[in-house]
Amino acid sequence: MTITPEQSAWFAETFDTLVANVGEALLGKDHVVRLAFTAMLAEGHLLLEDAPGTGKTSLAKALAATVQGTHSRIQFTPDLLPSDVTGVTIYDQNTHEFTFHQGPVFASVVLADEINRASPKTQSALLEVMEESKVTVDKVSHSVGRPFMVIATQNPIEQAGTYRLPEAQLDRFLLKTSLGYPDHASMVEILSGSASRDRTERLTPKITTGAVADMAVLASTVHTDAAVLDYVARLCEATRVDAQTALGVSVRGGISLVRCAKVWAASQGRGYVIPDDIKLLAEPVLAHRIILDTEAEFAGVTSTQVVGRILADTEPPAARID
Amino acid sequence: MSAPTSAPTPTPATTPRSTRMRPQGRRAWVDVLVLVIALGLALLPLVPVYGWPAATPAILGGLLLGAAIAGAGARWRWPALVTSAVSLVVYLLAGGALAAPTTTVLGVLPSLQTVVQLLASIIRVWKEVLTLDPSLGASGTLLAAPYLLALVGAITAVSAALRAGRRGGAWAGLVPVAVLGLAVLLGTKDTVLPVAAGIAMAVLLLGWAAWRRGNLVPRRVLALVSLGAVALASGAVAGPVVAEQSPRFVLRDEMVPPFDPRDHPSPLAGFRRFVKDWDETALLTVRGLPEGTPVRLATLDAYDGVVWNVAGSEAAEGSGEFRRVGETIETSVRGERTEVEFEVHELPLVWLPTVGYAERFDFAGPRSLDLAADLRYNDATGTAVLTAGVAAGTRWQTTVVVPSVPDDEAIGNAGTGNVSLPEVDGVPDAVPLFAGEVAGTATSPVLIARTLEQGLAERGWFSHGLTAEGQYPSLSGHGADRMTTLLTGELMVGDGEQYASAMALMAREMGLPARVVLGFVPDEEQAGAQEITIHGEDVQAWVEVSFAGHGWVPFFPTPDESRTPREDTPTEQSEPQPQVVQPPPPPPDPVTPPDDDPEQASTEDTEEDAFASQIWRTVLTVAVAVGIPVVLLVLPLLLIALAKRRRRERRRTAAVPVARVQGGWEEVLDHARDLRRPAPRASTRREIAVGLTAAFAAPHGRSAPADPDVSTRRAATVGGPVAGLAAGADAVVFGPGEPAPEQVEAYWQQVDAAIAAMHEVVPRRQRWLARWSLASLRARRREQRRARPQAR
């Protein structure tokens, strides 16, 4: 079954509504917002890395506020324990039973703020939930439900008091992007409206969790030509043989790219993926999955630059594969 | 020569670089070698035209230089204009040593004359080659023909082979075939190993083409056998064309060279032959010859110290010109008009007997049309020739005007005619001395002429010098020494040849415009008869002098045949003779090319077939002379246009609808590339659309100021359609299913609209250049090359 033109049109329209809603709180960041929704509809998680005060938390909150559902926030600190994330089993004296108290991770949209300030042990607890969509405490599994999306923010790695996320765990984030500073006009507007402390508070939900699940199903039916898949495979292979990488993109990375591309194509009202979708998403989807060669790292090369170079060197498909 | 290796292709890291580059480099060398050898074989028919020593450097040099230029052009991707410019410069620089050694300094350095002549040769040499008789050697710039064919052929063939795709490059094999055709046309009937050369060329080119197109797989026995069969069949077909089984068609045979009387020996020098060899032979029969009128064979007005000869057209106005004639001939001579009929029995010369001044010639018999085409008539001297010679049995009727001969009283004090004649050369001193002695006291031009005539006729003795028949010894010829002998010798003895020559020279010395006429004076027994048969013994030479208002008046200075010296006449007196300084031998005629078109068609309007065929022959000649260089210049352009059209049709009619849409997009990209705005590499269609829009919106040329309004307009004109095409192609190629035929058709209409929009916003010059640009063809070849290793 393939998405019909009518369905893709509806998808695009809904998508635009969601983006516009978040846009009210987060001025001038449409592209990042689209990427965030793409991660949500591809049923993945989003990692925002940026300097403090650029609106990471606002984005996460606005995203959560747009979707009708539960959302929670965990502020990661060095002394945060895994059970503070997942929840604990407590003995109820009234019932004489151990009952499970759900942690903040049991929500549709979870904002994990400053994830790299917590200890690796706590980080791992969250990342396990992200991977498996369930919490196992005392041999009992508790599903976190659908949709489930973690929006993690982190300060740039070099900052003091941070624990670097291990590569294997970084791989679990579907997309990694940054907000950057707003442009001049948006800045002026933000400043003029500074009286209202939090713009996200005014947002109303625009979509039910059920509809989000529908859209995710719809997006997975977007047609992807073999030539495009071949292109993705070539890109992934290129990251593996590149002289400046120590470790290339995993298979999961390639799958993630295709999943995101499908959502992105549908959000443009298209029922098929084109190489442009791949090109556009390659950097946010692949860059954080690449481990650079030590030499390249010393030379100041970033993985974003490597992905950009590979994109420029790899010929996108122009024809179907016979 | 630089290695014409293919453009360096970026190799993915997975493929070792060395395994990829080498076969392509080797393939390029094979291409060059095969094409150069094939062109060399194709040019073999030109070798007999020049001879081996002269032709070899021109042909080999042209081939190697052409291959080098093409190789360098392909290596560094010169545009067509640069390649043409380099070719021209090389043609001029190397042309001196290879094709025009006689015009160079030290045989190598081209002089200004070399350059000028080589440039003119591009147009002129073809006709010169066809009209001059082989072997031509290395004189002038005649070698420019094989040199130019080799150079242009090699540039065209090698460029096509190196720049076109692997399969398309095989078409370059047609160039040697075309060159062979031209060489055969320009060549002679003599050939060099025609069958071997033809088969070798066919096998070589077919094998190479098959190899280029990838059909040559050794395992495919069937393919090899069929290839061999085709090669043999072509050899067998081409063999007869090249071989002499039926006479080869060469343009040389169809070319009628302009008649140049200097190509023929002086008819006056052959005087003795008439009286010695054809004495009693009936040469021709004349019917209706007016009484007292001689038959004219040739009029000679140029003397060079050795012979009197018929002057060429450029010698002097009074010498007239041998032209083709139409149905009738205008003549300004007044006199009696009459019909005369001739029949030649034996007269193996080119000179056609005439009477008076002809108004028309009507040849009889089955060959009448050919004869009319061969006829050249000189209305100034009343002389006619048949360029192919006068065959026995030639019959014709001619309407003539016979001018009346005025007597001396009628001429009176009339001055000499205002006629310019070629200067006489090498006149011995005895001539003016004798003339002054005889005619020093004459008072009028006509009296001078008459006195000279009588002086010779009365003082001289007559003898043909046929000692075997008992005649008094008399040398033949009329060179300076013979004239001296005649005029200062103990005994003045000779025949018409000497007396007419002597009188004409004396008359010239006295300032009279005089010329010698060779012809026949029928003997008196037949005078006035309706039908007169002329024998060799009737030959006579006389002098004509032009008087104002009276035209040419004949004088007969030869003594009567009965005035023969007796044996006892004292002859051998040992008196010392004045030493006569012999004039230097005349310089040999320089080999000068004939004028472009000396045979002007008559202004007479005629519908006769003969004349029509003349015109057609002229048209053909001019067409060939102009056509060959034009074809050489236009052929590459034509090939480019054909290749592009073929590419477009292939795309438009591809088997799969998706491929048709994709082909439409590529067509747009190729047009953009030809317009010097190539699509960015490693880009998706949408990125390309954006890039192209920016490229077309940018100001043309570096100096042009950027006008935002113009840029916006251009961006809108090109951007919209191109972006639409990009999205459309993406939807079809990456979307599910196949497009409907109408969708494909609509897409191609958009393609045409987008191409038109791109052409619209560029200057006209770029549009024109784009049409002949090889950029897109070359780029496609590179892409195919890149794609091939990946496909493996």
Beta bridge partners of A109: A71, A149
User: Is the Cβ pair A275, B10 closer than 8 Å?
Assistant: no
Cβ–Cβ gap B735/A241 under 8 Å:
no
Instruction: Name which of A193-197, B40-44, B650-654 the model is least confident about.
Output: A193-197
Give the pLDDT confidence score for residue A38 in this predicted structure. Answer: 92
Total Cβ atoms within 10 A of residue B127: 22
Selecting from A241, A315, A319 the residue whose C-beta is nearest the C-beta of B682 gives: A315
In this predicted structure, what is the pLDDT of residue A192? 79
d(CA B613, CA B665): 54
Q: What confidence tier does A198 reach under pLDDT thresholds 50, 70, 90? A: low
Percent over 90 (pLDDT), chain A: 21
Please give the structure tokens belonging to residue B378. Answer: 């000189």
In this structure, what are the phi and psi dihedrals at residue B544, rounded to the nearest 5 degrees? -120, 135
Q: Is the confidence at residue B566, as pLDDT, over 80?
A: no
Q: How many CB pairs under 8 A join A and B?
A: 56
* Average pLDDT score over residue span B97-116: 81
- Report the pLDDT value the prediction gives residue A194, as an integer from 0 to 100: 60
Going from the C-alpha of B788 to that of each of B166, B673, B792, the distances in angstroms are 10, 22, 6
Q: Find chain A residues with C-beta within 8 A of B681's C-beta.
A: 315
> Who's near A223: CB < 8 A, 6+ residues apart?
A2, A3, A271, A272, A273, B734, B735, B736
Output the pTM of the full model: 0.49
> A316 at the B interface (CB within 8 A)?
yes
Closest CA to B555 of B522, B587, B517, B520: B517
CA-based nearest distance A24→chain B, Å: 30
Tell me the average pLDDT of chain B. 80
Selected for mutation to probe chain A from B734, B785, B786 (highest A CB count within 10 Å) is: B734
> Which of B693, B696, B675, B674 lies closest to B685 in space, CA to CA?
B693
Q: Does A248 touch chain B (CB under 8 A)?
A: no
Segment A137-158 mean pLDDT: 80
CA distance A187 to chain B (A): 30
pLDDT at position A292 over 60: yes
Q: Where are the alpha helices (DSSP H) in B554-606?
A: none
Given a cut of 50, whether residue B17 has pLDDT beyond it is no
The Cα of A236 is separated from the nearest Cα of chain B by a number of Å equal to 14
Q: Are B364 and B296 in contact (CB under 8 A)?
A: no
Residue found under tokens 């506020």: A65
Strand, coil or helix: B245: coil
Hey, is B539 helix, strand or coil?
A: strand
| Mean pLDDT score, A190-199 | 67
Is residue B182 within 8 Å of residue B153, measured between CB atoms?
Answer: no
Among the residue ranges A23-27, B380-384, B666-670, the one predicted with the least confidence is A23-27
Round to the nearest angstrom and report the end-to-end CA distance of chain B: 32
Residue B673 has which token pair? 């590339």
Question: What are the backbone dihedrals phi and psi of residue B503, each rounded to the nearest 5 degrees, phi first?
Answer: -65, -40
Structure tokens at B434: 């004798």
Q: Does B667 touch chain A (CB under 8 A)?
A: no
Rounded Cα gap, residues B131 and B251, in angstroms: 9
Contacts of A227 in chain B (CB under 8 A): 733-734
B residues 680-719 near A, CB within 8 Å? 681-687
Three-state SS for B3?
coil
**pLDDT exceeds 60 at position B4:** no
CA–CA distance, B258 with B261 (Å, rounded to integer): 10
Q: What is the maximum span of chain A, computed from C-alpha positions, in angstroms?
A: 70
- Output the pLDDT for position B239: 55
Q: Residue B297 and residue B266: Cα distance in Å, rounded? A: 12
Q: Helices B685-697 and B741-761: crossing angle, nearest 10°?
A: 30
When mean pLDDT is compared across B190-204, B376-390, B469-483, the lowest value belongs to B190-204
Q: Provide the residue type at B654 as one letter.
A: A
Are the Cβ atoms of A227 and B733 closer than 8 angstroms?
Answer: yes
Predicted confidence band of residue A272 (pLDDT cuts 50, 70, 90) = very high
Contacts of B14 in chain A (CB under 8 A): 241
What pLDDT score does A224 carry?
92
Question: pLDDT-derived band of residue B226, with 50, 70 and 90 as boundaries?
Answer: low
Task: Judge whether residue B757 has pLDDT over 90.
Answer: no
With tokens 């029949």, the residue in question is B343
Residue B748's pLDDT band (boundaries 50, 70, 90)? very high
Give mean pLDDT, residues B228-250.
60
- In this complex, which of B659, B682, B733 lies closest to A312 when CB atoms are compared? B682
Contact status of A271 with chain B (Cβ, < 8 Å):
yes
| Predicted pLDDT of residue B791 | 46
Q: For B263, what's the count of Cα atoms within 13 Å in the CB-facing half-sphere?
A: 20
Contacts of B734 in chain A (CB under 8 A): 223, 225, 227-228, 272-275, 320
Instruction: Look at residue B397 and tell me whether its pLDDT is greater than 50.
Output: yes
Q: Verify whether the Cβ–Cβ distance B13 to A315 is below 8 Å.
A: no
Domain residue ranges of chain B, discontinuous segments joined by +: 28-255, 261-555, 653-791
Mutation for B interface: A3, A7, A274, most B CBs within 10 A: A274
* Distance, CA of B92 to CA of B85 (rounded, Å): 11
For residue range B148-182, what is the model confidence (pLDDT) as tens digits?
Answer: 999 999 999 998 888 877 677 788 888 899 998 88
Taking CA atoms, what residue in A is nearest to B686? A276
Q: Which amino acid is at B697?
A: A
Q: Are B58 and B94 in contact (CB under 8 A)?
A: no
Give the pLDDT of residue A258.
Answer: 94
> Over the stretch B591-623, which tens digit does the pLDDT of each residue have?
655 555 545 544 445 456 677 777 888 888 888
- CA distances in angstroms from B671 to A317, B635, B697, B719, B766, listed in the order given: 20, 21, 16, 15, 11
* Residue whose tokens read 């020098």: B269
Q: State the pLDDT at residue B128.
A: 79
Q: What is the mean pLDDT of residues B409-414?
A: 84
Cα(B30)–Cα(B19) distance, integer angstroms: 18
Residue to test with chain A: of B665, B684, B785, B786, most A Cβ within 10 A: B684
| Per-residue confidence (pLDDT) for residue B264, from 0 to 100 | 81
Are the Cβ atoms of A223 and B733 closer than 8 angstroms? no
Cross-chain Cβ contact A313/B13 below 8 Å: no
Angle CA(B258)–CA(B262)–CA(B263) in degrees, nearest 5? 65
Q: Chain B partners of A314 at a C-beta cutoff of 8 Å?
A: 682
Percent of chain B with pLDDT over 70: 84
Question: Would you say residue B8 has pLDDT above 60?
Answer: no
In chain B, whose CA is at the least distance from the CA of A2? B736
Instruction: Decide: B751 and B664 in contact? Cβ < 8 Å.
Output: yes
- Asked if A269 is an interface residue toward chain B (Cβ–Cβ < 8 A), one would say no
How far out from the chain centre does Cα B110 lie? Answer: 24
User: Which residues, 6 or more positions from A7, have their beta carbon under 8 angstroms from its beta carbon?
Assistant: A218, A271
User: Rounded to 10 degrees, what is the CA torsion of A60, A65, A71, A74?
Assistant: 30
Task: Please answer whether residues A245 and A277 qualify as being in contact, where contact means their C-beta atoms are separated by less than 8 angstroms.
Answer: no
- Tell me: pLDDT of B139 over 80: no
CB contact under 8 A, B10 and A313: yes
Tokens of B752: 């045409």
| Closest-approach residue (CA) in chain B for A279 | B684
Q: Which residues of A touch B659 (CB under 8 A)?
A: 319
In the structure, what pLDDT confidence band is assigned to residue B19 with cuts at 50, 70 and 90?
Answer: very low
What is the Cα gyration radius of chain B?
Answer: 38
Say yes or no to pLDDT of B253 above 50: yes
Are A13 and A119 in contact, with CB atoms under 8 Å apart? no
Residues of B in contact with A272 (CB under 8 A): 731, 734-736
B726 touches chain A (CB under 8 A): no
What domains are there in chain A, each with its CATH number?
Answer: 223-322 (1.10.8.80)
Nearest residue of A to residue B729, measured between CA atoms = A318
The alpha carbon of B306 is separated from its chain's Cα centroid by a whole number of angstroms, namely 32
> What local confidence, expressed as pLDDT, does residue A260 receive?
93
Query: Residue B640: pLDDT above 70?
Result: yes
How far apart, in whole angstroms, are the C-alpha atoms of residue B4 and residue B531? 80
Strand partners, B228: none
Task: Look at residue B28 in the predicted model and tell me its pLDDT.
Answer: 84
Are B731 and A320 within 8 A, CB to CB? no
- Phi first, then psi, for residue B552 (nearest 5°) are -80, 125
Contact B733 A320 (CB under 8 A): yes
3-state SS, one letter per residue, for B134-169? CCCCCCCCCCHHHHHHHHHHHHHHHHHHHHCCCCHH
Residue B650 CB coordination number (10 Å): 11
**Do the Cβ atoms of A274 and B681 come within 8 Å?**
no
- Between B227 and B93, name the one with better pLDDT: B93
A207 forms beta bridges with A67
Contact A272 B684 (CB under 8 A): no
A275 Cβ neighbours under 8 A, 6+ residues apart: A228, A231, A316, A317, B684, B734
Name the least confident of B32-46, B265-279, B466-480, B701-715.
B701-715
Residues 6+ apart with CB under 8 A from B750: B664, B721, B724, B725, B728
Phi, psi of B535 (to 5 degrees): -110, 170
Q: Whose structure tokens read 């077919």?
A: B206
Q: Per-residue pLDDT averaged across B465-486, rounded?
A: 86
